[in-house]
Structure 1
Amino acid sequence: MTGMNFILRVLATGLALWLCDLIFDSVEIFPTDDVLGYILSLAGVAVVFSLVSMVVKPIVTILSIPLLILTLGLFYLLINAFMLWLTTWLTSQDWLGDWGMTIDGGFWWYLWVALILAVLQALVGLVVPNGDRD
């Protein structure tokens, strides 16, 4: 993955996360008091989510191949929800400062947000060029 492709994917993820923040009341990207802080926090969460998806997600996917086959791919939604939970956990640590993302409401909200986030990333990904299609 080239550097420009990574930046475009982070922008697409940031746009999808922003839309999820607008759609769901349980999703909060903070700080919300100033616009610049919100944009920087959104960019930071998008970078963390992209890095988690690049590093952790392939490992979890390979380890869960039997479950993916057994559920005909539906387990992939749980993997996406876990990546989202990991991102919220990483970005809401106290030692990182006052920025990050939270999802209130438990497991089912993570599933809903992961589903909507996957759909929005796919839609935004249609516009963003993929480095594999060169």
Structure 2
Amino acid sequence: MTRFLVRLVINAVALWLTTLIVSGVSVTPYGSGGTLETVLTFLLVAFIFGVVNGIVGTAIRVVAFPLYILTLGLISFIVNGLLLLLVAWVSGLIGFGLVVDGFWWGVLGALVLAILAWLIGIVVRPVVGRQGDRRR
């Protein structure tokens, strides 16, 4: 459970940084847009992103495996951009959340999001690992 929550926070922070870096990707907060509402919105969008990436993304990667081999993995940029657009659509159904201005903004946003989540994960992993060692 701890790993899930840490991953959720990492994705939420990476998403927040992505919205600051990529101008075509933004988040519309819930309600009045106060700090608490904004943080909860980023956490909700990160949760939606995790579910979409875990279910739909895995299915696409399995089905499109030959295409991944044929393009030497470059198709993953397109797939990740489409998954980010899908997250924007799902969050748009609930009336707030991720907004992506177009397909190429989605591809760029997915690339930046993946790099930032990876970098944050590298920084956070040793801290979380040390806490787990104390319990033993």
Cα distance in structure 2, aligned partners of 1:66 and 1:53: 19
* Structure-2 residue corresponding to 1:39: 39
* Structure-2 residue corresponding to 1:115: 111
Q: TM-score, normalised by structure 2?
A: 0.85
Contact 2:14 2:117 in 1 (8 A): yes
Cα distance in structure 1, aligned partners of 2:10 and 2:33: 24
* Structure-2 residue corresponding to 1:10: 8
Cα distance in structure 2, aligned partners of 1:100 and 1:40: 10
Contact 1:9 1:128 in 2 (8 A): no
* Structure-2 residue corresponding to 1:26: 24
Q: Does 1:129 align with 2:125?
A: yes
* Structure-2 residue corresponding to 1:100: 97
Cα distance in structure 2, aligned partners of 1:52 and 1:67: 20
Contact 2:77 2:107 in 1 (8 A): yes
* Amino acid in the other structure paired with 2:98: M
Q: Secondary structure at the match of 1:72?
A: coil
Contact 2:45 2:97 in 1 (8 A): yes
Q: TM-score, normalised by structure 1?
A: 0.86
Cα distance in structure 1, aligned partners of 2:50 and 2:41: 14
How many residue pairs get aligned? The number is: 126
State percent identity of aligned pairs.
36
RMSD: 1.9
Unaligned runs of 5+ in 2: 127-132
Displacement after TM superposition at 1:39 (Å) = 0.8
Q: Which runs of 4+ in 1 moved over 4 A?
A: none
Contact 1:5 1:129 in 2 (8 A): no
Contact 2:14 2:120 in 1 (8 A): yes
Q: Which has the larger radius of gyration?
A: 2
* Structure-1 residue corresponding to 2:57: 57
